[in-house]
Structure 1
Amino acid sequence: MLEDTLSLMPLWAFAVAVGVTLIAGFVKGAIGFAMPLIMISGLSLFLDPLLAIAGIILPIVMSNFLQVARFGRVEAMAAIREYWRYIVIVCVMIVIVAQFVTAIPTRVFYLILGIPVVILSLIQLMGVTFHIPRHRRRLAEWGIGALSGILGGMTGTWGPPTVLYLIALETPKAKQLLVQGVVYGLGSVSLLAGHLQSGVLTATTAPFSAALLIPAFLGMQIGFRLSDHLNPAVFRKVTLAVLVLAGANLVRRGIMG
């Protein structure tokens, strides 16, 4: 597996990828989201964007099912029943949009990666909140779900719109983590299926993604154990600030090359 991975990149790049994934796993374990954002922002700094997307796929699948596993099966099924429309549109759009990723020029791809990271991170960092009235919920499910799925298919991350959606519904904190895990978990399976079809995840790139499972798992375990001792609000703001900087750098690369 390591030999296959090192055929795609130098040893230093693989070592940095492991470090980025470890940090992303830690953040995921501590606050429940941002792993794909951190990985795609970090890996795209020194790897081809399509290889970066391939690398995040298996760690995303594993991490989201670990998150859901912390809750009971009954709670997870209840979340699926309540949010099934949102989940369905996210999953369908991920599979569809993922098929077009390989046709996007590199500089355009950097902009597609960077702009949503900056905008969505700034929205959360500034504490901007929205409210979705009950009679508008079904429309919001389809609309925001479609946006999330498009971002997921293009960039491998659909977390920030989902977080903003759940906040707008005034979802309790514990339930937010459960629903996020369910949406991310089922969406990540769609991402895996979509990129098996798109040609991004292949016999050549899959060993790289598989190799990142270990640092992702270790990072999450550390995050789980330290989450009770961290100030979640401060840690979340620091994470979002870092994502803004990383996203801005991707935008710079998209504009300046």
Structure 2
Amino acid sequence: MPFDFPLIATIAAVFLLAGFVKGVIGLGLPTISVGLLSLVMAPAQAAALLIVPSVITNLQQMRPTATLLPLARRLWSMMLGVILGTLAAGGLIAGANAAGAAAALGAALVLYAAIGLIQVRFQVAPRHEAWAAPVVGGLTGMVTAATGVFVLPAVPYLQAIGLEKDALVQALGLSFLVSTLALALTLSGAGVFTWASVLTLVPALAGQVVGQWLRTRIDAVTFRRWFFAGLLALGAFLALRWLLA
């Protein structure tokens, strides 16, 4: 990527914002960064810039406590599904139809935002986890491979299986980490991965620190409402831009 100060400043600002959102509500880094950067570059390039900050921030979010290993045992089939789904659909985001990938990303953002705004609450009974976990993982992997965003359907599923607050935060970090590494493999195989992603770590971490600091000082409910409303508008724009092209 040639030196382009306006583009570099835009990338830094986007990752600062994305890190801030993740610091406040525990997710949103890939959704914000890939969603906004897809306005100025191909989704595959945006996803490639996400890899390093996503790995580091999710390692931090996982916090290796005594609950992590039992949680990993409970979710291993979902994580395997994420890997297999991403690899099976690998290259979709880096394929020839970049505009279609951006539209798919827009549709995913609209769906995710709608679920968040209407506060849909799903419940999955423990007896169903054996088959539901790998299915959800596989679908999440395919969405990841197509859009670079790995919140659907993983996040609603993890919220539906009854995890306590701290365990849910850890589970989200684990899911996002596995999704990020699987995405990195597919982007590397497609020749898209770039070590420029290391540079985006600085604004992402800075934003996350500020977001964590503000987490207890702002109304999280109001923030989440505006966050999902913004995602809805962004997703609709990405999808409509492709439909009207």
TM-score normalised to structure 2 length = 0.93
Counterpart-to-counterpart distance in 2, 1:77 and 1:91: 19
Alignment partner, residue 212 of structure 2: 224
For the residues of structure 2 that align with 1:49 and 1:182, how far apart are their CA atoms? 23
* Pairing 1:114-193 to 2, within 5 Å after superposition: 114-193=106-185
5 Å-filtered alignment, 1:1-257, equals: 5=1, 7=2, 10-68=4-62, 71-201=63-193, 205-207=194-196, 209-257=197-245
Report deviation, 1:95: 2.8
Which has the larger helix fraction?
1
Q: In the TM superposition, what is the alpha-carbon distance from 1:108 to its structure 2 partner?
A: 1.1
Give the 3-state SS of the residue equivalent to 1:103 in structure 2.
coil
Contact 2:53–2:204 (CA<8 Å) still a contact in 1?
Answer: yes
Q: Percent identity?
A: 27
- Number of equivalent positions: 245
Equivalent-residue separation in structure 1 for 2:155 and 2:92 (angstroms): 25
What code does the residue aligned with 2:14 have? V
> For 2:39, what is the secondary structure of its paired residue?
coil
| Counterparts of 2:151 and 2:93, CA distance in 1 | 19
> Does the aligned pair in 1 maintain the 2:43–2:102 contact within 8 Å?
yes
2: distance between equivalents of 1:27 and 1:142? Answer: 28
Greater displacement, 114-123 / 47-56: 47-56
Q: Distance in 1 between matches of 2:185 and 2:44?
A: 16
Amino acid paired to 1:175: A
Q: CA deviation at 1:238?
A: 1.3
TM-score by length of 1: 0.89
- Match of 1:101, SS? coil
**2:222 aligned partner, one-letter code:** V
Unaligned regions of 5+ residues in structure 2, if any? none
Aligned-residue offset at 1:104: 4.0
Deviation at 1:60, TM superposition (A): 1.2
CA RMSD of aligned residues (A): 1.6
Deviation at 1:106, TM superposition (A): 2.4
Find the aligned partners of 2:161 and 2:238 in 1 and give their Cα distance. 31
Task: Give the AA of the match of 2:97.
Answer: P
Distance in 1 (CA, whole Å) between partners of 2:159 and 2:198 is: 33
**Deviation string for 1:58-91 (max 9, x for gaps)?**
22112111211xx334222221111111111112
